[in-house]
Structure 1
Amino acid sequence: MSAPQDVSAKPWQTQARVRAVQKRTVRVLAAAQIVGGVGVGVSVSIGSLLAESVARSETYAGLARTATTAGAAAVGVPLALVAQRHGRRTSLGTGWLVAAVGGAVLIGSAVSRSIPLLIVGMLLFGVGSATNQQSRYAAADLAAPHRRAQALSIVVWSTTVGSVIGPNLADPGAAVASVLHLPRLAGAFVLATACMALASALLWCLMRPDPLMLSRQYQDAEERPESGTDIPAARARVTAQEKKPQSGTLRAGLRHLRHAPRAAFAFVTIVVAHTVMGAVMTMTPVSMSQHGTGLTVVGVTISGHLLGMYAFSPAVGWLSDRIGHLSTVVTGQAVFLVSAALSGMGHDSVGMMMAGLFLLGLGWSFSLVAGSAMLSEATPAALRPGVQGTTDTAMNVVAAVGAGLAGPLMSWIGFGGLNAVAGALVLPVLAFWAFLVRAR
């Protein structure tokens, strides 16, 4: 198969300056994802331990996950609105900075054993997760269409480093806490706070020019008239166009999703994929433990799942640009179905469970990378940040509900039944795909 030709790229996207800025943007985003992702990774494993330590109750252990998820869901749209008005650099730089402030508040909660500070800190810390997720869209602002998914996937891949390092900062954090005379678990959040602050500094200082603002400048220039035409009228049209998305971003974005089938398909794909992944992943360790699997094997299984989520994303992005976003999304749904079958029927087999959870992560990667690229492609630049923020908010809210229902559901119909329900959630995506194919 020959490589795709860049026939759909706009002339400005092929300019040397734009291509150079795009490469720089992706490098800066990747660096920020690596250091900021370390902080996000801390909350996954150490956040619940800190909550239990501060509250001196196991009941509060789950509070950390809930508050962090709530914080991420709450700021998805606000971060997008900041990007809409002031650009990606301001939005992402501010997001990581707020998360760093949350880390400092958590350190204060550990010292004072204050539950209100713990909750506020976890909510602010969750902003880092939302910023981590929205960073992928910034990689696509200047990318040529046939490289959009690959650029986006590199930023997703960079999260791998943080997801591996972050959960293992307990011992280094304890050494830091000893030096600073802090509670033992607070040390990991000292490191996490420093990492998130560094991510913010990288974006504020190095992501210049802003990719979203630069893309708008070129798009505005395309709409300006040639010499001899009514320049004041043209300027008025450009000004009106710039103000319209700012005053009605959410309404216009939701209206776009209702009337643009490909954008709506991408929205549904991302939300369903995150929900399926979150529900099954949350209950897999519980199921394995119930069947006598040791914690070491459970840890290896989760690591394999994270490997599937992030490590192969550049290959997924390359494939998506080569065979098309729609085909890649459908491939991801097929991977989800195989994963559900392996996990659902293999609860007595460690090998099948490990393979199922790895494929669960891989199906998520296919769906998120291709779906995000498709969402960017199918949405006008003026509406893009708002639609992307709405998508991420919906993704986090629905996934949180799905994860919350997964426990009672497994108690009712078992782990096999939970996987059957997860597989059934994929079917509407496939039905939507069939509709798009017939509509061509």
Structure 2
Amino acid sequence: MTSGDRDLAADEALRRRVQRRTLAVVVASQVLGGAGLAAGVTVGALLAQELVGADSLAGLPAALITLGSAGAAFVVGRVSQRRGRRIGLGIGFGAGGLGALGVVVAAATDDVPLLFVALLVYGAGTATNLQARYAGSDLAAPSARGTAVSVALVSTTLGAVAGPNLVAPMGSVAVALRIPALAGPFLLAAAAYLLAGLVLVLLLRPDPLLLARRLEADAASAASAASAASAERDAAAPAPVPPVGRGAIVGAAVMILTQIAMVAIMTMTPVEMRAHHHDLSEVGVVIGIHIAAMYLPSPLTGLLVDRVGRIPMAVAAAVTLLAAGVVGAVAPADSLGLLVLALALLGLGWNFGLISGTALVIDATTPANRARTQGTIDVLIALAGAGGGAMSGVVMASAGYALLSIAGGVLSALLVPVVFWALRPRSAARP
């Protein structure tokens, strides 16, 4: 075995060892982050409805949270590209925790402008929680990227499912502190996000993205070492950043469409339930099952994405989200069982779309451009979700929950032509 072969073998052993440690740290942060994001999903719309007193603005919190997550995704992506995942994700979770504290203060003082600003900042936690999935895949082998993403997502389940079911207890805590009951879950969110950031800053060492970049450079150097002239040219000029592949565009489209459909329907479900006299505990059950469906199937989804393929699972996302929209549209508002089914399908379709889309993006990027590209795509996803959240309240106020649900399902069906475009040979795609 040559010296170069020994170096490559040592690098591979290091990659595997750090990947195992990285996944463990990401799992811990995701459990905490899941509890943090659940607060806004469960009671954000209800809190705004209570403070503002207008049903048509009930979708505004989801829009603000996702708009804030767009800005945070851009910042976290750029910081991660320069400084690594540890610093980028730590900053994002820290901002999310401060935003949650701002929501509590706004609710306690009945300050609507502060509430809207705080929800924007709180959105940083949502963006960071999603971007952590990339940290788990930076060092993963190509054939295991879907599985690595799924490990990061499924670990969110514990906190995300527990969060909605703690709405009533945290409401009691809030009342004991003489603040509105609906602000209680944001107390939990503040603690969860701040702890998640602390875990990443302290324990995500060595940084997976920076290590992946170094290992890729070492492999490239070893491959070109046989040609002295090539090595000399490489040393004289920095390597250009490679362009992203078409798979990144397809993956982005899959995640954007699934995000719009999911956010629009999910945001208005608590409002629809409260309008038909469901109590907060029932709202918590429905949203808890929805979030469980978003994250709990991840190990199986990741395995299917790696074994069956990215594109078939993107089609499965479209079909499942369409079914969710149809069930939501036909379900009587007083039928808890059908609402649970609709929201479970909605979460499952989102899960299929997110993991297949993420894997497509990872496949089409390299460590040299990955974090920046991922951050940009997550900005587009967040902006799309913000639009879906903002319009959901307007559509529901004017046309009702049934039309909103069916519109979200039909929108999801647009994934199918996107997938057909992806399957076309490059030569056929040109006029």
C-alpha distance in 1 between matches for 2:325 and 2:174 = 42
Paired residues for 1:198-347 under 5 Å: 198-224=195-221, 225-226=224-225, 229=228, 233-237=233-237, 239=238, 241=240, 256=244, 260-287=245-272, 297-347=282-332
C-alpha distance in 2 between matches for 1:278 and 1:370 = 18
Amino acid at match of 1:399: G
Distance 1:403 1:172, change over 3 A: closer
State the partner residue of 1:155. 152
Q: Which moved more, 1:112-121 or 1:285-294?
A: 285-294
Q: TM-score, normalised by structure 2?
A: 0.84
CA contact (8 A) 2:42 2:270 kept: no
Q: Shift of the alpha carbon at 1:432? A: 2.2
CA contact (8 A) 2:46 2:270 kept: no
State the partner residue of 1:7. none
State the partner residue of 1:355. 341
Distance 1:278 1:194, change over 3 A: closer
State the partner residue of 2:119. 122
C-alpha distance in 2 between matches for 1:106 and 1:284 = 21
C-alpha distance in 1 between matches for 2:399 and 2:15 = 54
Distance 1:290 1:127, change over 3 A: closer
Give the secondary-structure state (helix, strand or coil) at the position aligned to 1:380: coil
CA RMSD of aligned residues (A): 3.2
State the partner residue of 1:58. 53
The alignment status of 1:383 with 2:380, answered yes or no, reads no
Distance 1:113 1:336, change over 3 A: closer
C-alpha distance in 2 between matches for 1:343 and 1:380 = 40
Q: Which moved more, 1:400-409 or 1:137-146?
A: 400-409
Paired residues for 1:416-427 under 5 Å: 416-427=402-413
State the partner residue of 1:394. 380
The alignment status of 1:98 with 2:84, answered yes or no, reads no
Give the secondary-structure state (helix, strand or coil) at the position aligned to 2:137: coil
Q: Shift of the alpha carbon at 1:175? A: 4.1
The alignment status of 1:166 with 2:163, answered yes or no, reads yes
C-alpha distance in 2 between matches for 1:37 and 1:299 = 15
CA contact (8 A) 1:174 1:188 kept: no
C-alpha distance in 2 between matches for 1:190 and 1:283 = 23
Q: Shift of the alpha carbon at 1:386? A: 1.8
C-alpha distance in 2 between matches for 1:330 and 1:14 = 37
Report how many residues are paired.
411
Distance 1:226 1:118, change over 3 A: same
Distance 1:207 1:177, change over 3 A: farther
Q: Which moved more, 1:218-227 or 1:388-397?
A: 218-227
Amino acid at match of 2:225: E
Q: Shift of the alpha carbon at 1:329? A: 1.2
Give CA deviations for 1:305-352 in whole Å, capped at 9, x if unaligned. Answer: 222211111110111111111121112222223323333334476544
Give the secondary-structure state (helix, strand or coil) at the position aligned to 2:155: helix
Q: Shift of the alpha carbon at 1:262? A: 1.9
C-alpha distance in 2 between matches for 1:137 and 1:312 = 18
The alignment status of 1:73 with 2:70, answered yes or no, reads yes
The alignment status of 1:145 with 2:130, answered yes or no, reads no
Distance 1:398 1:21, change over 3 A: same
Distance 1:121 1:405, change over 3 A: closer
Q: Shift of the alpha carbon at 1:203? A: 0.6
Distance 1:337 1:134, change over 3 A: same
C-alpha distance in 1 between matches for 2:266 and 2:184 = 28
CA contact (8 A) 2:89 2:128 kept: yes
Give the secondary-structure state (helix, strand or coil) at the position aligned to 1:431: helix
Give the secondary-structure state (helix, strand or coil) at the position aligned to 1:15: helix
Q: Shift of the alpha carbon at 1:106? A: 4.1
Show structure 1 runs of 5+ residues with no match: 1-10, 246-251
Q: TM-score, normalised by structure 1?
A: 0.82
Q: Shift of the alpha carbon at 1:268? A: 0.5
Distance 1:124 1:346, change over 3 A: closer
Distance 1:40 1:297, change over 3 A: closer
Q: Which moved more, 1:301-310 or 1:403-412?
A: 403-412
Q: Shift of the alpha carbon at 1:110? A: 5.3
CA contact (8 A) 2:30 2:196 kept: yes
Q: Percent identity?
A: 35
C-alpha distance in 2 between matches for 1:188 and 1:412 = 30
CA contact (8 A) 2:59 2:389 kept: no
Show structure 2 runs of 5+ residues with no match: 1-7, 427-431
The structure with higher relative contact order (CA 8 Å, sep 6+) is 2
C-alpha distance in 2 between matches for 1:169 and 1:32 = 21
Give the secondary-structure state (helix, strand or coil) at the position aligned to 2:368: coil
C-alpha distance in 2 between matches for 1:412 and 1:318 = 42
C-alpha distance in 1 between matches for 2:185 and 2:267 = 23
Amino acid at match of 2:169: D
Q: Shift of the alpha carbon at 1:266? A: 0.7
Q: Shift of the alpha carbon at 1:420? A: 3.6
State the partner residue of 1:26. 23
Amino acid at match of 1:16: A
Q: Shift of the alpha carbon at 1:22? A: 0.7
C-alpha distance in 1 between matches for 2:394 and 2:366 = 41
